[in-house]
Amino acid sequence: DTGVSQNPRHKITKRGQNVTFRCDPISEHNRLYWYRQTLGQGPEFLTYFQNEAQLEKSRLLSDRFSAERPKGSFSTLEIQRTEQGDSAMYLCASSSPTLNSGANVLTFGAGSRLTVL
């Protein structure tokens, strides 16, 4: 297993288009997280899943944002009707609390950079 994989790495789109990002977590990790990082800032939590259940989604930025993890493995983050303010890096992370004796360390992917023109 080579870690958390995110695709695409870069996406350029026009305002108003829909975009979807995919995240493949580390296979033995049952928790998956989405974060957004704008330039010069720290990552900002969006949502997380335990297996296929989305346990926290109140931090999704608007109803244009949605995430799924249908089989408890990979996840997708969709942004509908993109706006220029959506331009950011979208980071995915996974973890397994039982593997880190309580620390629940998140392993991040390299991110998907979105540019909305």
Partner 1 sequence: AQKITQTQPGMFVQEKEAVTLDCTYDTSDQSYGLFWYKQPSSGEMIFLIYQGSYDEQNATEGRYSLNFQKARKSANLVISASQLGDSAMYFCAMREANAGNMLTFGGGTRLMVKP
Query: Which residues of the chain form contacts with partner 1 (CB under 8 A)?
Result: 31, 33, 40-45, 48, 55-56, 59, 89, 91, 93, 95, 102-111, 113
Q: How far apart are CA 65 and CA 116, in angstroms?
A: 15
Coil, strand or helix at 98: helix
- Complex with partner 1: residue 19 or 43, whichever CB lies closer: 43
Q: Which residues pair with 65 in a beta bridge?
A: 79
To the nearest whole angstrom, how small is the minimum distance from the Cβ of residue 109 to partner 1?
Answer: 7
- Complex with partner 1: residue 5 or 80, whichever CB lies closer: 5
To the nearest whole angstrom, how small is the minimum distance from the Cβ of residue 48 to partner 1?
Answer: 6
- Complex with partner 1: residue 3 or 16, whichever CB lies closer: 3
To the nearest whole angstrom, how small is the minimum distance from the Cβ of residue 81 to partner 1?
Answer: 26
Q: How far apart are CA 84 and CA 93, in angstroms?
A: 24
Q: How far apart are CA 110 and CA 95, in angstroms?
A: 15
To the nearest whole angstrom, how small is the minimum distance from the Cβ of residue 108 to partner 1?
Answer: 4
Q: How far apart are CA 54 and CA 70, in angstroms?
A: 10
